[in-house]
Every structure is written in structure tokens, then in C-alpha cells.
Structure 1
Amino acid sequence: MSAHGFGRPIAPEIIKAAQRGQPDALKRFYSHFADAVLRLCSGMLGSAEDGRDLTQDIFIKAFACLADIKQPLAVGGWLKQLSVRLALDTLRQRNRQQQLSDDESDNISDQSWNSAIDSLTRLDDVERIMAVLSEQQRVLVWLYAVEGYSHQQLAELLQLSEQNVRQQYRRALTKLATQLKQGEL
């Protein structure tokens, strides 16, 4: 992990005090990780508003489970996994609801991939940019490019083949690169 976001070190005494439920420590824990959780959730869900809602839910769940953490120094990784899992659950639930409502009524070079990712990380309005992608593509790009997951890890998380993950990722980057070249983003 890096020195920012989920990998930013937090004092073990803050974690231990938060595990005991001390309000000041819980507040410091939240302040320490809130931006990373919000960024991950907003990126995966494609909406800052949905990201804020899920961030609240994640911290409620995290506070309830915090006492069970055996290695306080690994809390950032644990919180990241919890956030990804709950964001994926939210997307799956959204897809199920969409299916119910429906029932009721590519080749790109490695250099181009890197260029698309670089452009994506430099732009301010990531939510608008990622909106051109399908939900699945947005999740793949966000988790791979921004959060550092491997294609193999994504395949396991999303219950897809690694080849399918790579193919969807390429298509997503092709779409982003095309839109960026055309100046539509």
C-alpha cells in the first residue's frame, strides 16, 4: 500500500482506542480514512452522492467490527477490502433491482492504455468521465487503475474469468481513449 489513502499509517494507539469504542478515537479513525473510502465508493458506484451514502454504511459496519481486528496495523487493508466488498454488493443489488424493473415494464496499445489512465487521473471530473463506461467497466477500471487490484484479483472478486476481465478492461480503456481524443470528456 502507498503512503496515502488506505495505506497512510495511523497510530496503533488510535486503533486500539477505537476498538474500545472511545468516541474521540472513532472520530480520528473516520477522519483518517473517510476520503479514501469515499473516493473508492464514488469511483465504483459512479456517483458522489451514492459514494457518500455507502461511505456512511461502511463506517457503521467498520465500527461494529473494529474490535475483532487482530492486527491493528493492517486496518487500512481490512477497511479497503470491506469497502470494495460492500460497493460490489451495492452494485449487485442495483443490478437485481434493474432486472426486476426491466421484467416489469478492440485493440488498443499499452501506450494508449497508460495515456487514458494518466488523463483519467489528471482530470477533475472523474465522475463525469467514468459515466461513459458501463457499470462493470467502471468498476474494473477503478479497481485496477486507481486502487491497484490485479486482473486475477478482479476476476475472483467479480466471479469472472481473468481473460474476460482483461477484455472488458481493454474495451473500457478503448472507450475512454476514444472519447478523450475526440475531446468529448
Structure 2
Amino acid sequence: MKQRTRTGSDTRIKTRKGTRAILAAGAVVVLATTLSGCLLPSTKPPVAPPSPRNTYGLDDPTGYPSDTYSPSPSPTRETFNPDGRADVRGSSCDFSNSLRQFTYTVRVTNPSLSESYSYDIAVNWMKAKPADGKAYGLHERSIVVRPGDTETYTAKYTVNQSSIGRFWYTCRITRAHKTRY
């Protein structure tokens, strides 16, 4: 093999070509580092790798991504509490001297949207001063309320005495037993 050496003007050409090659290689390095985000700060937020939930599971027989497929929950019955006093409200506790009658407006609201309930309700008109636990009268009634409905009625109790003096009284719902109807 023969080698030739260049002299004179050939050396300048060789140097110029070498400089171009170095500049071209440098431009490639700058371009590569810029594109990879090493030289210039990234203007885009970093992208999080996909979570395992967003991938198709090899052991998933459905073939659906695990985050889009979930079996529907089994239907459950509503919580049932036989003490229905929370569903019953009373208002307008009154006594009529002319009729010798206690009255109390009772409002029953069924909170269930799927079941009817029967309410066994007891209203007592109690002695208020002194509050010694004595009852003047008792009214009992059963009422069926459909899902989501409200029923209102007036509880009444008539006193058997012909004349009643001044007295203090209060109305109280003492029982509201609830059963499925």
C-alpha cells in the first residue's frame, strides 16, 4: 500500500475540510441534546408514565383495561330501623275547652324510595306542670305510607270530664313502630 502526503495548498484544503467536519459533528451533537431536552429547559410538563391500572392485563379474561371494567355492585336492601320516630313529626298541640278535646297534627314521611311501611303510632297528652309522668289521654293509630310519600292526620283525644280547670299539658309521640308493608 502506498501513502501519499500532500503539501502546500493541499494542506489548507485538508484543514478546511476537517474544520467543516468538526462543525458539522458539533451541530449534530447540539441538535441531539436539544431534542432530548438536555441543553434547553423543557417547556412541556413531564408526562407521567401510565399507571398499571390503565394497561391491559394479561391475566384479565375480559380483555378490557382494568380501569374501565368493574363489575356492578350487587343490589342491597336499604337499612331498616323499626323505630320510626325519626320519620314522624308532630305540630299544633292544642286543647279545645268547648269540645273538651286534645288535638295534635302528626306528619309521617317514608324516607324509602322502594318500600312501603306501616307505622304504629301512639300520641300522649302529658301533664306539663308539674311534669310528673301522668297522661291526660292517649291516641293510637296505624298508617301505611308509600315509598317517598308523606301522610298527615290529626290525632284526637276527648276528655270525659264535664268541666276542666286550668292545667298545663304537652303533646308527645311516644311510639312509632315501623314494619315493612
More strand per residue: 1 or 2? 2
Superposition TM-score tier, normalisation by shorter sequence: under 0.3
**Normalising by structure 1, what TM-score?**
0.23
Q: Which has the larger radius of gyration?
A: 2
Structure-2-length-normalised TM-score: 0.23
